[in-house]
Amino acid sequence: LAHGSCCSSPRATNAYGEVYMDRNKEMLDDYPPYGQAAVPASCLRNHLMLKEMKEGRGPIWMDTVTALANLRETLSPREVKHLEAEAWEDFLDMCIGQCGIWAGENIEPEKKNSELMPTEPYLLGSHSGCCGIWVSGPDDVGAPTDEAMDGVPEHLPKGWNWGYRGMTTVQGLFTAADGVGASGHKFSSGSHAEGRMCAKSMVKFVMDNKDHKPELDTSVDELIEEIYRPVRNFLEHKDYSTAIDSHPNYITPKMLQFRLQKLMDEYVAGVATYYTTNANMLEFAEHKLAELKGRRSEDACERPPRAAACLGELSPHPDC
């Protein structure tokens, strides 16, 4: 469970049942005024959690058992059942994955606690992180109408709202929810709503630009060659080894993903280093990424649909 996605009622404890927010409360004094808030921000809760883990008091638990037991002392069984149903709905709204874990691991929250762990860093815009792609914002509810920062490159738009809501700096390319940068605290339900608004903007863009005909900057023959190259690589070399994923002449999408994940995890502030990094590690990671990207010419896929996965690796959005 992502720590930022837990509800506020159950306590979060270390492996010894101690409420780590109370145990490390003095650390919050270093981050006024956010540390003094009634409910400190997710990043600060994670900061205190990682201290517990580094000092050997993990894993961290969301104490749903005690929370629900306390409810039973003051509420009737029917009222408790109603609150449990509401809790499930809340988790479906803000952390669908947790419900999947509960169902997949046969966890009944009233009988077994759930482990808390910060999520992996990735393109995140829907909760407490604000990474993502630059899009045109809303033009209502008091949104700024002018650019507040200096130094915006001339080729990029200025201001808060400069076009269709949810459209990126690539004309006709839209995104929503996790894809949107500087727009945290949406959760799953808010992301769904934003997706609907984005879809309406897309329809408006199409209606307003009926004559818009994007042109490819690459010939069709070149695109066909690029898409089918991994398949040809596989068919040409597959009999050299009895192991599809371990081969000297090509690399499969799955193995490319494994290498990318390992590299980012160990050098770019992943869970393996408790989300810490430094300039030297990042510089080495950049070198390894360039080396991994160089292996793109050795992509191989056993069937055409997987070719899209091959091409998608290490191909970021131009704004990233």
Q: What is the pLDDT of residue 21?
A: 93
Residue 223 has pLDDT above 70, yes or no: yes
Regarding whether 264 and 180 lie in a shared domain, the answer is: no
* pLDDT at residue number 14: 95
319: in domain: no
Q: Does residue 320 sit within a domain? A: no
What gap in Å lies between CA 300 and CA 233, rounded to an integer? 5
- Quote the pLDDT of residue 214: 83
**Do 232 and 130 fall into the same domain?**
no
278 lies in a domain? yes
User: 211, 244, 265 — which closes off a domain?
Assistant: 211
In tens, the pLDDT along 10-29 reads 789 999 999 999 999 999 99
In this structure, what CATH number is given to the domain that contains residue 225?
1.20.58.100
Identify whether residues 20 and 91 lie together within a single domain: yes
Using DSSP, state whether 245 is helix, strand or coil. Answer: coil
Verify that 105 and 18 share a domain, yes or no. Answer: yes
Domain boundary among 54, 87, 116: 116
Domain co-membership, 80 together with 162: no
In a domain, 318, yes or no: no
How distant, in Å, are the alpha carbons of 50, 218, 220, 227 from that of 215?
49, 9, 11, 18
**Residue 8: pLDDT band with limits 50, 70, 90:** very low
Q: Residues 99, 171: one domain?
A: no
| Residue 7 pLDDT grade (very low, low, confident, very high; cuts 50, 70, 90) | very low
The last residue of a domain, from among 211, 244, 260: 211
Q: Is residue 66 part of a domain?
A: yes
Answer yes or no: do 229 and 292 share one domain. Answer: yes
d(CA 28, CA 122): 26
Same domain, 112 and 134: no
**pLDDT tens-digit profile of 40-54?**
887 788 899 999 999
Percentage above 70 pLDDT, the chain: 83
User: Rounded mean pLDDT of the chain?
Assistant: 82
Q: Does residue 165 carry a pLDDT above 80?
A: yes
CATH, residue 78: 3.90.700.10
Q: Is residue 11 part of a domain?
A: yes
**295 in the same domain as 228:** yes
Asked if residue 245 and residue 230 are part of one domain, the reply reads yes
The total domain count for the chain is: 3
End-to-end Cα spacing for the chain: 27
Domain that holds residue 299: 220-312
Distance CA 94, CA 5 (A): 7
Neighbours of 137 (CB within 10 A): 18
| Pair 108, 202 in one domain | no
User: In the predicted model, what is the mean pLDDT of residues 90-109?
Assistant: 81
> Which of these ranges, 262-271, 275-284, 311-320, has the smallest mean pLDDT?
311-320
Kindly state whether residues 43 and 132 are assigned to the same domain: no
State residue 4's pLDDT score.
42
> Is this structure's pTM higher than 0.75?
no
166 contact partners, CB below 8 Å, separation of at least 6: 135, 136, 174, 175, 176, 180, 194, 197, 198, 201, 202
Q: Which residues of 163-188 are buried (b: 16+ CB within 10 A; e: fewer)?
A: bbbbbbbeeebbbbbbbbbebbebbb
